């Protein structure tokens, strides 16, 4: 099995390009099982959030499976109801306690919450300077939110985690982030598991002898994005990281690019002032 490449962030830290999404894994047994399968199959990036209520399961997995904390890359996100300077700091301390560690690898603001997002960013900058977050970033930020942030930030985000897949390609945001050295981390890279029935993707899956999901993931991967597909199913967890042994040709890639239909399966931040 090939090693998952790292992506270099603008602060000099490295993040694995493929990770396991942890949204909706609320059952402890499911979590422990998914984590073990993922770890055994070379996943090192685990994407949690205060909102997912499973940071403490990560602590349990680290302990029970005797994982060296430094061997994994753990993300959390400040929940919308914890925005504001003091609340961000306080809730982050609670997240650290839940993880049983003195740092997270990456801490994101989960959403561009109006009014409060500036103070929350200032809190993340403090956390980063104290060393309790190796990297900091944002999630669901549009170009407008990033432009605003640039005006008051002392530290620019390393990552913007947004929904980005074959059917929601966001080329302008991708271009903007590339130019500003902010890495896009693609959430819902399988469009939340929506019916996998697009005839072009089906045809390509057959051609490359891969699954529909693997074509979707490889598309994001070839765009240079960090991807965090979620699954609690053994064969899917394994399948989702096994996308390193083939390459979609330029011609097929351009065909896939025509499938964008601006399909959002999660939040829509474009109307947030
Ligand atoms: N920052 C944000 O606002 C935000 C928002 C949404 C998500 N996220 C992050 O991104 C991660 C991924 O997004 P997501 O969980 O919403 O959606 P996703 O990864 O696009 O899709 C997950 C769904 O697809 C299914 N699936 C996984 N692998 C599959 C495969 N190989 N074949 C067929 N079906 C497959 C899963 O089912 P099973 O689990 O039953 O196998 C699950 O129902 C989240 O877990 C979270 O960490 C962040």
What one-character-per-residue DSSP string does the chain give? -PPPPEEE-TTS-EEESBEEE-TT---HHHHHHHHHHHHHTT--EEE--GGGT-HHHHHHHHHHTT--GGGSEEEEEE-GGG-SHHHHHHHHHHHHHHHTSS-EEEEEESS--TTTHHHHHHHHHHHHHHTSEEEEEEES--HHHHHHHHHH-SS--SEEEEE-BTTB--HHHHHHHHHTT-EEEEESTTGGG-----HHHHHHHHHHT--HHHHHHHHHHHTT-EE------HHHHHHHH--SS----HHHHHHHHTT-----SS--GGG--
Backbone φ/ψ region at 145: left (φ over 0), alpha (ψ -120 to 50), beta: alpha
Tell me the best of 231, 237, 268 to mutate to test the pocket of ligand 1, counting ligand atoms within 8 Å of each CB and taking the most. 231
Mean pLDDT for the stretch of residues 18-36: 97
Indicate which residue's Cα is closest to atom 43 of ligand 1.
193
- pLDDT value for 43: 98
Mean pLDDT for the stretch of residues 205-228: 98
Mean pLDDT for the stretch of residues 251-273: 96
- pLDDT bin (cut points 50, 70, 90) of residue 271 is very high
Mean pLDDT of the chain: 97
Tokens 């993880």, residue?
99
- pLDDT bin (cut points 50, 70, 90) of residue 105 is very high
C-alpha 30 – ligand 1 centre gap (Å)? 14
The ligand 1 atom nearest the CA atom of 139: 1
- pLDDT value for 213: 98
Q: Is the pLDDT of residue 2 over 90?
A: no
Which residues line ligand 1 at a C-beta cut-off of 6 Å? 21-23, 47, 110, 139-140, 161, 187-193, 211, 213, 228-233, 236, 239-240, 266-267
Indicate which residue's Cα is closest to atom 19 of ligand 1.
229
pLDDT, tens only, 235-244: 999 999 999 9
C-alpha 211 – ligand 1 centre gap (Å)? 16
Residue 56: CB atoms within 10 A of its CB come to: 16
- pLDDT bin (cut points 50, 70, 90) of residue 14 is very high
Which one of 23, 39, 43, 52 is the catalytic residue?
52
Q: Is the pLDDT of residue 1 over 80?
A: no
Class of domain 6-197+224-241: alpha beta
Indicate which residue's Cα is closest to atom 15 of ligand 1.
230
Q: Residue 52 catalytic?
A: yes
pLDDT, tens only, 79-101: 999 999 999 999 999 999 999 99
- Its pTM stands at 0.98
Residue ranges covered by each domain of the chain: 6-197+224-241
The ligand 1 atom nearest the CA atom of 49: 47
């Amino acid at each position: 099995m090939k090693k998952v490449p790292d992506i270099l962030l603008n602060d000099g830290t490295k993040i694995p390009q493929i990770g396991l999404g942890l949204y909706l894994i609320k059952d402890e047994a499911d979590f422990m099982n998914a984590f073990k399968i993922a770890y055994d199959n070379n996943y090192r990036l685990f994407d949690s959030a205060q909102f997912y209520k499973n940071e403490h399961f990560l602590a349990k997995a680290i302990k029970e499976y005797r994982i060296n904390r430094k061997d994994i890359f753990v993300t959390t996100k400040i929940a919308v109801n914890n925005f504001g300077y003091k609340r961000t700091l306080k809730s982050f301390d609670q997240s650290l306690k839940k993880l049983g560690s003195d740092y997270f690898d990456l801490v994101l603001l989960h959403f561009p919450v109006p009014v409060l997002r500036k103070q929350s960013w200032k809190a993340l900058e403090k956390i980063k300077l104290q060393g309790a977050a190796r990297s900091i970033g944002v999630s669901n930020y549009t170009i407008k939110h990033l432009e605003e942030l640039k005006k008051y930030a002392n530290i620019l985000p390393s990552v913007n985690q947004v929904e980005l897949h074959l059917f929601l390609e966001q080329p302008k945001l991708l271009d903007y982030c590339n130019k500003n050295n902010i890495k896009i981390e693609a959430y819902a890279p399988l469009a939340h598991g929506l019916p996998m029935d697009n005839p072009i993707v089906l045809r390509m899956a057959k051609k490359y002898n891969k699954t529909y999901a693997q074509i979707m993931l490889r598309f994001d991967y070839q765009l240079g994005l960090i991807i965090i597909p979620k699954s609690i199913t053994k064969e899917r967890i394994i399948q989702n990281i096994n996308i390193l042994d083939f390459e979609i040709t330029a011609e097929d890639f351009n065909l896939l690019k025509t499938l964008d239909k601006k399909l959002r399966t999660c939040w829509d931040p474009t109307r947030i002032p």
